[in-house]
Amino acid sequence: MTQLALVIDLNVCVGCHACVTNCKQWNTSGAAGSLTDCNPYEAEPNGTFFNRVQTFEVGSFPNTETVHFPKSCLHCEDPACVPVCPTGASYKRKEDGIVLVDYDKCIGCKYCSWACPYGVREFDEQRKVMTKCTLCVDRIYDQSLPEERRKPSCVLACPPGARLFGDVHDPESEVSVAIRERGGYVLMPEANTKPANHYLPRRKTALKIRDEELYRSDNPHKIDGAPFDKDLPPTNEELN
Amino acid sequence: MHPALSVIFLTTLIGAGQGLFIALFFCELLAPTATTPGFLAGGSALVLLLCGAGLIASFFHLGHPERAWRAATMWRTSWLSREVIALPAFMAAAFAYGVAHWSGAGHTLLIGVVGVLLALTLFICTAMIYAAIKVLKEWAHPLTPVNFILLGSASGMTLAAAYAGFAAPELTTALAQAAVVLTSLALLTRGAALVRNARLSPASTLQTAIGIRHPRIVQKAQGAMGGSYNTREFFHGKSANFVRTIVPVFLVLTFFVPLALVFSLPLLAFLAQYGGLMAERWYFFAEARHPQNLYYQGKS
């Protein structure tokens, strides 16, 4: 069974919002209709987005870190939003695990958004239906695109490559290897929704040098940086 | 959660309607000599009026009310779908009950039993819409259906006492006594839910929401300047002071005023109780803290 998902590397994300704008551009131009913008050029601009980037500051000054946190539908393997839907408009595709909304069946009761613990579904104020990330289902299978372009718009847009896309059920896929080897985790595991999307944690890059590593085998008598001591006996290398 | 007026009207109106139907049925069952067909048929019309008003209110909650018929399809998994089936079924039973009394067609007790069972089913369906959402711990508890049943039955019984005051005065005292019992029971269970919810600790934290283990995390940006669906739908938008004030208001109006007035001024008792239930339902939504609010720290 295939389960397509995104893996987002928080260590790489720079918070540029390119994924947000490209997601909006692709999904507002598609056959499913535009994603509403209310007051786009006035005070309090707001609208429908499938993907948002939030920013958090972790720690206390001066030991703080800025964490940019992209947030979109996690395409849960046990989605809380699907069984509550009274019309069957919300469904999870068997063939690839994508959670979708049939906009022609949705009555706009918003019940699914209540059941989702992550708040990743957005009610479209003009189309009056529930909308959400589709993993760009209308481009990832598009045979008219070159194969390397058959990816969600957010993944293609990400300048530092913080977003990976693939099948998390295939142990050899790029996303599965990343989750396995780079500490991939899911959001709110206590909600028991088994999110398919994973996040890769922040990593500190630090070089740790132990004292014994400073005592080099090819220079056994001296600690690096110490002045030459002529009273020390010659080494084997010097005698030969 | 944001308390939607349409849902407040729906749940309180149909609750009173279901309660009134149960009251009418027991009037016929326990005091057949005191009840007239006109009283029961008129009461059934009142039930239909309340449920019809609730049904109309519910349409204002939908983005596409013209597709509402689709909501009856997923009854295997969705409590909302079950409610969509149970409400018209109950209204049909109430209609049949009223017509059977009005026309003298008979079989009224049998229709009444079916109607009472459908009323209880509808109470459970309505309440389970909320109690089935596991991530909302304030709602996901057996007290939620218990409260919906008792609060609806109490308001219906108070209304029955008020209605009997006009249409069957000899039943008023008995109905008022039943209303006192149900209102007192509802006070106990609603109070228990208040106490329980005040002690709840959320299962999710900002740490689990973004997966970063650090005691101090401050949100700097929410991903939108002018708000979003997330900031509109999941926050009540009132001050903490306002929310705190609503609790004594709904306790007094829903329970203490009707308990004091139901014998002397049953109509006023019902109006107070109905107003109180609207405040109670408002608070029911407002007190539910959705875990998605963790991603919108600036709002909460």
**Contact (Cβ atoms closer than 8 angstroms) between residue A197 and residue A5:** yes
The token pair at B97 is 């009950």
Query: What is the percent of chain B where pLDDT is above 70?
Result: 99
Asked if the Cβ–Cβ distance from A119 to B219 is below 8 Å, we say no
Q: How many CA atoms, within 13 angstroms, populate the side-chain half-sphere of residue B250? A: 21
Pick the closest to residue A201 from A10, A8, A4, A56 (CA basis): A10
**CA A155/CA A23 separation, integer angstroms:** 9
Q: Which residues of B touch A109 (CB under 8 A)?
A: 61-63, 71, 80
**Contact (Cβ atoms closer than 8 angstroms) between residue B25 and residue B259:** no
Residue A20 confidence (pLDDT): 96
Phi, psi angles (nearest 5°) of residue A92: -115, 125
Domain boundaries, chain B: 5-210+228-295
User: What single-letter amino acid sits at A138?
Assistant: D
Asked if the Cβ–Cβ distance from A84 to B70 is below 8 Å, we say no
- Indicate the range of A186-200, B46-60, B136-150, B213-227 predicted with least confidence: B213-227
Q: pLDDT tens digit string along B142-198?
A: 999 999 999 999 999 999 999 999 999 999 999 999 999 999 999 999 999 999 999
Q: Which residues of B touch A86 (CB under 8 A)?
A: 70-74, 78, 80-81, 84
> pTM of the entire structure?
0.91
Residue A217 confidence (pLDDT): 57
d(CA A84, nearest CA chain B) in Å? 4
Q: pLDDT tens digit string along B236-272?
A: 999 999 999 999 999 999 999 999 999 999 999 999 9
Tell me the pLDDT of chain B averaged across its residues: 96
A31 pLDDT tier (thresholds 50, 70, 90): confident
User: What's the average model confidence in pLDDT over B203-231?
Assistant: 93
CB-based contacts of A210, cutoff 8 Å, min separation 6? none
Judged against a pLDDT cut of 60, whether residue A223 lies above it is answered with no
- Indicate the range of A27-41, A168-182, B30-44 predicted with least confidence: A27-41
Judged against a pLDDT cut of 90, whether residue B76 lies above it is answered with yes
Q: Which CATH superfamily is B5-210+228-295 part of? A: Formate dehydrogenase/DMSO reductase domain (1.20.1630.10)
**CA A37/CA A122 separation, integer angstroms:** 12
Residue B104 confidence (pLDDT): 86
CATH number of A4-200: 3.30.70.20
B219 pLDDT tier (thresholds 50, 70, 90): very high
User: What's the average model confidence in pLDDT over B199-209?
Assistant: 95
CB-based contacts of A79, cutoff 8 Å, min separation 6? A90, A92, A99, A116, A193
Residue B224 confidence (pLDDT): 87
Asked if the Cβ–Cβ distance from B62 to A107 is below 8 Å, we say yes
CB-based contacts of A33, cutoff 8 Å, min separation 6? A103, A127
A100 pLDDT tier (thresholds 50, 70, 90): very high
**CA B75/CA B59 separation, integer angstroms:** 19
Round the CA-based radius of gyration of chain A to a whole number and report it: 25
The residue in chain A having the minimum alpha-carbon distance to the alpha carbon of residue B222 is: A54
**CA A157/CA A20 separation, integer angstroms:** 9
Q: pLDDT tens digit string along A60-75?
A: 999 999 999 999 999 9
Asked if the Cβ–Cβ distance from B291 to A85 is below 8 Å, we say no
Tell me the pLDDT of chain A averaged across its residues: 91
Of A69, A114, A191, the CB nearest to B204: A191
**CA B49/CA B64 separation, integer angstroms:** 24
The residue in chain A having the minimum alpha-carbon distance to the alpha carbon of residue B75 is: A86
User: What's the average model confidence in pLDDT over A55-64?
Assistant: 94
A236 pLDDT tier (thresholds 50, 70, 90): low
**CA B290/CA A35 separation, integer angstroms:** 25
Domain boundaries, chain A: 4-200
- Residue B37 vs residues B27, B72, B91, B176: alpha-carbon distances, Å: 11, 34, 18, 21
Tell me how many residue pairs between chain A and chain B have CB atoms under 8 A apart.
Answer: 178
The residue in chain B having the minimum alpha-carbon distance to the alpha carbon of residue A83 is: B77
Q: What are B253-257's contacts with CB under 8 Å, separation 24+?
A: B253/B279, B254/B151, B254/B183, B254/B186, B254/B187, B254/B190, B254/B279, B254/B280, B255/B183, B255/B184, B255/B186, B255/B187, B255/B190
Residue A60 confidence (pLDDT): 94
Judged against a pLDDT cut of 80, whether residue B300 lies above it is answered with no
Judged against a pLDDT cut of 90, whether residue A119 lies above it is answered with yes
Asked if the Cβ–Cβ distance from A188 to B230 is below 8 Å, we say no
- Indicate the range of A20-24, A170-174, B104-108, B142-146 predicted with least confidence: B104-108
d(CA B234, nearest CA chain A) in Å? 8
Phi, psi angles (nearest 5°) of residue B292: -65, -20
**CA B219/CA B212 separation, integer angstroms:** 13
Judged against a pLDDT cut of 90, whether residue A56 lies above it is answered with yes
Residue A21 confidence (pLDDT): 96
CB-based contacts of B258, cutoff 8 Å, min separation 6? B154, B158, B179, B183, B269, B270, B272, B273, B276
